[in-house]
Amino acid sequence: MKYYSLNHNALKVSFKEAVIQGLASDKGLYFPENITALDASFFDKIESLSNEEIAYVAIKQFVGDEIPADKLKEIIAETLCFDFPVVKVENGIYSLELFHGPTMAFKDVGAR
């Protein structure tokens, strides 16, 4: 998978280069060349999957073979090592609690 700058004035880079550089040389954000929709079967069984399994399926197309599958699963397990439950607020309304991580802030999910 190659990543391009949203400013369109920098060379395309690999996943590894995009992660290490953070921003493209033209100060643009890196974006994947392709995003493939997840299969309907994934969503049909999503409630039976663990958070780690969901994360692996969601991210593997962006990482490609740059991180071996077993190592990627290990990274995901270390990253998602705390609960972030979906809590019922009232009938038909649910909230994803993102404050159960090490710093008790939403960034524990997004920044990991």
Q: Is 27 an active-site residue?
A: no
Residue of 27, 71, 88, 107 marked catalytic: 107
> Please, where are the H alpha helices in the chain?
15-21, 40-44, 51-63, 69-79, 107-110
> Which residues are CB-contacts of 23 (< 8 A; sequence separation ≥ 6)?
29, 30
35: how many CB neighbours lie within 10 A of its CB? 10
How long is the chain? 112
The catalytic residues are: 107
